[in-house]
Chain A
Amino acid sequence: MSKRKIIGMAFAVLAAGWLGSAAAQAQDYKIGYITDLSGPLAGSYTPTWQGFDLYTKALNDRGGVNGRKINVTIDDDGLRADRAVAAAKKQVESNEVLGIFGLSLSSTQAPVIAEMQKVGVPVVSTFSAILDALPPAKPDYFSTGVMFEVAGEAIGVLQKQIAPSGKVVGMTFDSVGGRAAIAHNKQTVEKEGYSWDEVLFPVRTADFTPFAQTAAGMSPAMVVGHYGAEQNIGVIAALRAAGYTGPYIIAAYGASEDTARQAAAQAGSGDNIYMVSRYAVPTDNAPGMADLLAAAKKYGIANPTSMHVTGWVLGMFAEEALKKCGADCTREGLDKAIQTVKLDTKGLTGGPIEMSADNHYGPTYWRLYHWEKDKLVGVGDWLKKTDLTFPVK
């Protein structure tokens, strides 16, 4: 009997806590953030969320925006569409959010966007962008992230700075996003006169040696890897062990200088490792980086990376949108405000992020980095891409 009483009391306490915690500051701007914090891509998305969190905390320390603070509800979707949709519905209904930020891989985004379009809640994804953001843009969806097709083309152009000709081998895992990136990378380099070959491997590969050996056997002038962060570590190590010592380009869908550092250590040598990224790395010393580093220090995030920068810039975007929305912001107001955002990222991206009514992605800037001893150093200038050169198949 007493065991039952204890359990009953525990439930009562928790219920009281649940009801009590529902009271938040009525004047705060409420926004939601949903991403993968425990699933396959958590290693990349957690730092992105940390960056966003840092920005909103720093913003609240300054007094918030339009005199109101920002209250962020964070939810995990485990890279599953059904959890993402459930979290979005919860945030819209229980947390009464004005907009949802973050999101995770493209496969989880479409259902969330469909649901949010029904209720008119704007969604801004960072990190992964789907084609719906390009003109003619679908309503209520925006992105400050990396679109596979655009990134593939940007990398194809930036590759010219490494070697002027030869064979380019693209490696990806056998997912729909990877194939899309490869398709556009291939078309871009072939137009520039390179020859192309590719190696696809299963998504759940743990050991990359045979694939690296196949790639090395193709005698490439350079190898590009289109996958998440972790595979780069294993692939570079395997490539070097297979005897390929030439340039390897990490396509930054979730990779950062942390990835490059691990890869360099695992490969035994950091030579010839490059990265193409939309966001600056902290060692770039962009003007906006000082604020990020200060906030990271204050809130105990050691070693921020370009993934933190991604989230930080999304925070800047959110602030700009809310500022334009005004003191009494509604969901449609926020949607309209986002469409007019022209954000100067203070050097954290190669150029401003510009949204418009028709284009919810805007021009993007990409940079090639080279790993030198213990950090990534930019090579050349930022490349601006305004649209897709090649059609989507």
Chain B
Amino acid sequence: MSSQSPYLLVSYAQTNRVLPEPYQRVVVAVIVAALLCLPAFSGDYFLHLMNLCSIAVIGAVGINLLTGYCGQLSLGQASFMAIGAFTTAILAQRYGLPFLVAIPASCCAGAAVGFVVGLPALRFRGIYLAITTLAMHYAIIYVLTNYQAVVGPSASAGITVPAPSLGGFALTSERGWFYALLIIAAPVVIFGINLARSYIGRAWVAIRDRDISAETSGINVPRYKLLAFTISAALAALAGSLGAYFTTVVTVEEYTLELAIVYLAMIIVGGMGSVTGSVLGAVFITLLPFAVERISEALPWQLGTTAFGIQEAAIGVAIIGFLLFEPDGLIEIYRRVATYFERWPFRYHEIKPGGAR
């Protein structure tokens, strides 16, 4: 192995490796080890933030598959998450079903709704598609608002979801949640990466780049678009379901259009069309308000409540900043750094035609 160049591929197994370079395997191993040891060195608050990131990662992977890979601009992310959350709330609180039943059921519910939303979306592209998904979002939220108002002991406080439990062991601590979410998010990310590398992912990219050519190449465009909607909605529902268990209360007011925009921001910042980018973007956007808050606390002069307005603006600044200066997202920065080290000591400047990866 040591005498062979990593660039000389001699077997199919080698071409299919997710991490072809040795240094990549080392990096991943280090990251995994660090994550596993993290709870030992962090307080509850930091773990809470990490848990929020994990949930966001799941949702971000979902929307990246739909919008980044398949090119279907969807504003319905929040409503899919709401479907997942409410399904979980109803099954767990009203019928007392365990989380092993509730979570998959929520994913199925999300998938079903995603499929239904995808049907009219087959006709449209671009802005019109976005508006169609927005209309669906409002319709779904309307239904859920009526549901919440009618059901529930204290309707204004939402539906309370009991903590997920297996046998006698209930998941309530941040540390426990950290590992649980890691166990769920990691396979989701791997699933996303593999999906993107498979024929499905390639079909999606073909549809995104020019769907007419994709169709003439023999790709069943409606089938793959619907598949994208279904999988994306299922993942969003999963994120919503986990969020419901995590915050223990489900209210429909949480799932606004702004939330859908936040997820779009995650993939813009992270890199559209890259699953690893979704991870980076999700972490970045989730932690951004807290980072801005820390920075404004550390500043020598008192900002008072203006600081909170700045926090709100931060995500808009991030969107504009990345779109103007780094349109391929954080993952592109990573790639540049990785390429620099890979090619070192040769200086290697990549010539990129517009839009190519």
Contact = CB atoms under 8 A, between A and B. Distances in A.
Contacts of A240: none
Contact of A118 (B43, B145, B148, B172): B172
Interface in B230-260: 243, 247-249, 251, 253-254
A130 B156 contact: yes
A85 B157 contact: no
Interface string B43-83: 11100110010000000000000000000000000000000
Interface string B276-317: 000000000000011001110111100001001101100000
A107 B298 contact: no
A131 interface: yes
Interface residues of B, number: 38
A93 B311 contact: no
B149 interface: yes
Interface in A83-99: 83, 85-86, 89-90, 92-94
A86 B299 contact: no
A56 to B, nearest CB: 14
Contacts, number: 107
B311 A131 contact: no
A81 B247 contact: yes
A132 B157 CA distance: 10
A177 B156 contact: yes
Contacts of A118: 172
Contact of A107 (B160, B172, B253, B309): B253
B308 A76 contact: yes
B52 A86 contact: yes
A46 interface: yes
Nearest to B159: A110
A90 B172 contact: no
B16 interface: no
B247 A111 contact: yes
A179 B148 CA distance: 11
Given A89-B48, A107-B156, A131-B154, A46 B247 contact: no
A107 B149 CA distance: 12
A106 B157 contact: yes
B249 A110 contact: yes
Interface in B132-158: 145, 148-149, 152, 154-158
Interface stretch (A14-22, A58-66, A213-221, A312-320): A14-22
A380 to B, nearest CB: 29
A331 interface: no
B249 A81 contact: yes
A148 B294 contact: no
A83 B158 contact: no
A131 B133 CA distance: 37
A290 interface: no
A176 interface: yes
A17 B299 contact: yes
Nearest to A109: B157
B145 A107 contact: no
B297 A18 contact: yes
Nearest to A147: B156
A85 B308 contact: no
Interface in B28-43: 43
Interface in A153-203: 174-177, 179-180
A21 B298 contact: yes
A139 to B, nearest CB: 16
Nearest to A77: B308
28 contacts: A14-B295, A17-B300, A37-B305, A38-B305, A38-B308, A38-B311, A38-B312, A49-B305, A76-B308, A78-B312, A82-B254, A85-B247, A89-B45, A90-B45, A92-B44, A93-B45, A106-B156, A110-B160, A118-B172, A130-B156, A130-B157, A132-B154, A176-B149, A176-B155, A176-B156, A177-B156, A179-B155, A392-B154
Interface of B: 43-45, 48-49, 52, 145, 148-149, 152, 154-158, 160, 172, 243, 247-249, 251, 253-254, 289-290, 293-295, 297-300, 305, 308-309, 311-312
Given A89-B48, A130-B157, A176-B158, 7 more contacts: A21-B298, A38-B312, A46-B305, A82-B254, A105-B253, A107-B251, A114-B249
Q: Which 3 A-B pairs have the closest CB atoms?
A: A17-B298, A76-B308, A176-B155
